[in-house]
Structure 1
């Protein structure tokens, strides 16, 4: 019964809510972990679901998991139980009064424009892989794409003449994002002299390919980003979205409207974009203290 409920819930978030594949996989993992806990502790279903859920969350805390992990699993359970209650599989929602743990908002790490420049110019454009890497890095920074969006691009997603890329983001939401001059030139070079060699006889439509002619993965891009950061002498602890965070921060620092940046990033809620205003505000404070005679 529990597994059947989980399968129905996953079908719901995939078909009706149109959530991204990685989000669905996270739901599957988190809820399956909880269901395994229920079975091992022999909590009755549905009568013992509320007690089982409380015991499970206490167990997560005893395990020393981060607040972010506990919050994510709590949110997954609330969505799952809400779904089951709406379908009348449960007489009432065991998570109705459950609140998520408060999270300390962590500001994303960003690079300076000079550091970005060093990374973007690190790949050598005399090999197919170097052409691909420069094009990926340039496009990631030029358009602020999520890593999943970047590696998910197909050849026909990019219009170099008009200067835009068509992206399917979270929740299968489509948006059109401009591509800057430098990124367009890097993409032209890659499509002309890099991708045909990496592809060989492949028939796929993926824009960015690995050495086997297959679609580049998120992990593959993260590895190349760290490689070129190291080559550029940058020792910061980077994340896969470092160039995306840097894109947003640099746009705002140079006067871009917050709503425009929200649209470019594909954020459904502007509160998600507002985290970058803390970064730019901190930078403005630094400039003020350096420049003002009575700061």
Structure 2
């Protein structure tokens, strides 16, 4: 008897937080909740995974980068960060209890910011990758910054954004 294959499902575009949404998220996140603010900035501004953010400590910060000793696949990587982040993030960097804590904080504040309820903490990382691709950073460089082992993983961000496509269409006609 022949086995039947399931039909191939096309990969959906990742749910990503847009710049204006991120600004709103930071706006509703209290300054006293340093864990949330720093975590959101690292995920959105440096493309760090939630597990990498959780393990981040002051000694991982360099002047303009963060050294990630063990990423998802046990590979070291260096992620660039804007000047000034090291000073801001390493002073009184609070310990993060768990990954779940970060995910709960994201859900709490994203709800306050009235963001898409389908967003997850990982949507911040997707926002980072999408911004890079939309800014014209070559896919192989995005791959390195994201810590992807395979360029095919990075290629999901090269798909056209329907909103941007519509804007471009309207500008032409």
RMSD: 2.3
Match of 2:157 in 1: 276
Secondary structure of the equivalent of 1:121?
helix
Q: Is 1:108 the counterpart of 2:14 in the alignment?
A: yes
Asked whether the 8 Å contact 2:44–2:124 carries over to 1, the reply is yes
Structure 1 stretches lacking a partner, 5+ long = 1-98, 196-208, 210-214
Against the structure 1 CA distance between its residues 265 and 100, is the aligned structure 2 distance closer, same or farther, given a 3 Å change threshold? Answer: farther
| 3-state SS, counterpart of residue 166 of structure 1 | strand
1:182 shift after superposition: 6.7
- Asked if 1:247 is matched to 2:153, the reply is no
Rg bigger for which structure?
1
- The aligned counterpart of 1:235 is 116
Equivalence map 1:211-230=2 (5 Å): 215-230=96-111
For 1:279 and 1:261, the matched residues in 2 are separated by 16
Q: Note the C-alpha offset of 1:234.
A: 1.6
**Alignment match of 2:65 (pick from 154, 161, 164):** 164
Aligned to 2:172: 292
Give the 5 Å matches for 1:110-189.
Answer: 110-125=16-31, 127=32, 130-159=33-62, 162-167=63-68, 168-181=70-83, 183-184=85-86, 186-188=88-90
**Structure 1 segment 195-206 matched on structure 2, within 5 A:** 195=94
Which structure has more relative contact order (CA 8 Å, sep 6+)? It is 2
**What are the ranges of 5 or more consecutive residues in structure 2 without an aligned counterpart?**
none
| Cα separation, 1, equivalents of 2:84 and 2:113 | 19
Q: TM-score, normalised by structure 2?
A: 0.86
TM score, norm. by length of structure 1: 0.52
- Structure 1 or 2: more helix by fraction: 1
Aligned to 1:23: none
